[in-house]
Structures are given as C-alpha cells and as structure tokens.
Amino acid sequence: MSGKVWLVGAGPGDLGLLTIKGLDIIKSADVVIYDRLVGEDILKLIPKNAEKIDAGKKSAEHKIPQENINKILLEKAIQGKNVVRLKGGDCFLFGRGGEELELLKDNNVDFEVVPGITSALAVPAYGGIPVTHRDFSSSVHIITGHQKQNTPLSINFKSLAKCGGTLVFLMGVENLGNITKGLMSEGMRKDMPCGVIEQGTTPEQRKIISTLDNIETICEKENIKSPAVIIVGEVCSLNEKFDWFDKLPLKGKSVIVTRPKDREETLSKKLKALGAKVIKCPCIETISLIDDLTFNEILDKIKAFDCVAFTSPFGVKIVFEKLFEKNFDGRIFGNKKIAAIGSATSAQLKKYGLSADFVPKTYDGKSLGALLGKTLKNDSVLLLRAKEGSAEITKELTKAKIKFEDKTIYYTKYVNSIDNEIKQKIVNGKIDFITFTSQSTVKAFTSIIKYGYDKFIGVCIGEKTNKEALKYGISTIVSKKASVCDMISSIILEVKKCR
C-alpha cells in the first residue's frame, strides 16, 4: 500500500509561526525531507524514530539536486511511509512545491499541501513594516530576486517601478545592487525608502533601513547575508514607529538554560517570548527511584503521616505517574495536608487536582521547614524529595520537634558533556547569560566547562545557588524570589542597566 506525501510550509523561522496542522503532521511523520531555512526549533519536533533527510538548498549549492528530491519523495511514499517535505516559508511561493507534486501525481501517490506563513509578509511585520497601508500602498508585489545559475536576472523593472505598490524581493540579497539599479533605471526615485531584514523573525534578526540609492552600500558595510528579505516602498518609513520585535527587552541577548530537559521548557519559552536567543544545555538530569517496592512503601507512609511535602515539580510528577500506572489517583491523599516548596511545585500539584495547603513566601527548604514547624504542631510530615536534598528542611522540623520521615524518590545525575559548539560560544564570549536554577546545575556546569567564567553573567535562582556560583568566580545576579519569573526579571533589569 502506497504512503502519502505532505508538503508542509514551516514558516519563516519562528517556531510560533508554524501552523497547528503543520505541527500535527510533522509529529506523525516517518520521513522528513527538510530545507536549510527551516528553524532549529521546528526540526526538533521531528519524531526521534523518523528518517531525516537534509536537502539544505542555498544559492548555487544544493546538497540534493531538485530532481533527486522529487524521486526521494516518490520512493519513500511507494514504501508505504508518511513523508513530510518541510520547506521554509510557504510551499508554493518560490518553493518549487509544484515541481515536487508533478512526479507524485504522475505515479498516483496521494499528497496534501499545508500552506506556511511566507517570509514575504512575516519578516516585514517583525521589522515594523506593514506591506500595505491606506496612506502609502494599496498593493504588494512579491518577486524572486534569485535566478537560475549562469543566467541573467530576469525582472520586469519597468512595471515594478511604475506600479506604486510595495515590492518584496525574496532570495535577492546577492543581487541587491542589480535590483536597486534596475528600479532606479526605470524611474523609481533614488530616495525611495528601502529596507533589508536579515534572519527575519529569529533572535538574530538585523534590519537595515535606508534609501534605494544607498541601501547596497550600507548592507555591504554591515555584511548582510542570506537569508534576507528586501522591501521597497513608502511603508518602510513606518518601521521605527511600528517596530515591536527589536524593542523586546531581551532582543539580541543569548541565554543558556542549564535545567534538565523535563523542566527547561517553561523558562525557555518565557525567554524566547522576550526576544532572547535561547540555547538549551541541560547539565543535569533527574532520575526516578520509584520502583514497585518503593511505590508500595510510599502508599503506606502517606496513610501513616498527616502531611505530605513535595520539594520539586519533578517529585510531584513521578509520584503521580506511578499512581496512574498502578490505577490509583489523587484520592490516596484523602484528608492529608499538602505542602509545596514554591509556586512551580504548587502549580504542578494543581495539574493533578491538588491544592497545596502550605507554600512558604520564600521558596527554599529552610522557609518550608520553618512554616511547617510553626503551623503543624502535633502533625507528622512525610518528605518526598531528592536524594541530595537540603538539610535545612529537616533542621527546622527537628527544631520544632515535628515528627517526620525523609523519603528519597529521585536523584540528580550530572551530564558528562556539552556540545562543542556551545562550549566555543561560552569561552569566546558569545553568551550573555547562563541560568542556574540549583546548586546542582552550577556544580554540573563547572565540572564540564573549566574556564571562561568571566565571559558571561550567571543568573542564580537564590542565595544558595549564588554562593555556589561565586566559588568559581562567576559574576552573578540573583533573583529576589526562587522563581523562573523572578530570574527573568533580574535579567531584564541587568540588560536595562547596561543599555
């Protein structure tokens, strides 16, 4: 039985601009053939067991010739596989999608097209340029600035110069001079506003705004490279007024997130939304210790104690995963009191239908222990937490003469290595901030990276983490509260200070 091919437009680079339908289809793919301009975050959505084929085309350099790509799509589909042809931008706008479908149609292979957001519209929008505006332009014209190898640029400059609309050139940065000269030679005025936006919709986005006669000189000076979008028209004069992307508080800043994979997404998403270039570099991983025997012990202890205290979202997650696996649910907590070390742990409990009775104002072990010691009096406490958990909780409970048991349910393991490209960025001063959400992340990071600590600022979630970072001479800033939101606020304040 023959498979099926989906042509999916991946959009201009920003993961958030991928369509919901495109996301669903990528996740169900057996084979993905992708182009150079597909964003890294989108490529990470490809299933681990899917075959990945890099067709990475750029000007005059094709890893796989177009006719071979067409054949691969056909061959994989005939093998009965779900095949995704993943293209930057939109499939049919200078994407040669029509060519790829012809061979499939000739061989009666099913296919479907999922349009993508084109860079011709998205990139100007991220640069503060509306391609149409009632006061300036009532039409937009999208033109390829790229020609076949060894053939002259074939553009009807006479018509474009007279049309009165906004002109958007894709794949044209290498021909920028020919484009501007062609338009001026047909009568377009030399001082017509013009913009070139490189790496549009990504944290690396750069924008050059000038006039038609001067834009090439500035772009050469600034070493503007492909991919870049060229916009010509009066609407370019609105770019400062409507620029929102470059004004994001962390635009242009690179931030490494060292959290374990299972907990990195919340921090990463918030940083990206503020314009930061986020590099995920988990330095630790958390390993569950809850086997069947341990689970039965936990059930017995929950029954025996008055209060159950969780000290991390991961602890909550693995307990409930095991509960569901064994056909239990939150009812086992019955009338037990529930404590959480902070807002993230409390939020994780709410996902499973439980509200924490006790959450300290300061999110650390000492504060949680002190709160329980002050509040519980004659009640007993079951601590479900990490093997290397802080002794401050138990000290406070002991001081308050609270009966408790400290039950280990997971441990933290250091990651042995970091991608060499990330290492080079750190030691070469290409990273602005590295986030540390625990002492363990600091210890793990410094066990791998032995130098270059003066090249970045460490963002620490609390004083204990900060003290650990200071041992290695890392310049730090510390969040007032032990929360992701407060860490981000600290970064924003630091950036504002330096501007």
Catalytic residues: 35, 57, 171
**Cα angle for residues 301, 305, 311 (degrees, 5° grid):** 80
Q: Which two tokens stand for residue 148?
A: 């076949």
Cα distance between residue 25 and residue 8, in whole Å: 8
3 state DSSP class of 371 = helix
CA dist 403 → 312, 364, 373, 377, 380 (Å): 21, 20, 10, 9, 5
Q: Is the torsion defined by CA of 5, 7, 10, 16 positive or negative? A: negative
Secondary structure element (H or E) that encloses residue 72, with its range = helix 66-78
User: Which residues have C-beta within 8 Å of that of residue 367, sequence separation ≥ 6?
Assistant: 360, 361
Give buried/exposed letters for 376-398 (b at 16+ CB in 10 A, else e): beeeebbbbbbeebbebbbebbe
Going across the sheet that includes 166-170, the strands are: 140-144, 166-170, 228-232, 193-198, 206-211
Please state whether 451 falls in left (phi above 0), alpha (psi between -120 and 50) or beta: beta
Beta-strand pair 404-414/381-386: parallel
Give Cα 155 distance to the centre of its chain: 38
Q: Which two tokens stand for residue 66?
A: 């177009």
Q: Which of 376, 364, 365 is nearest to 338 (CA)?
A: 376
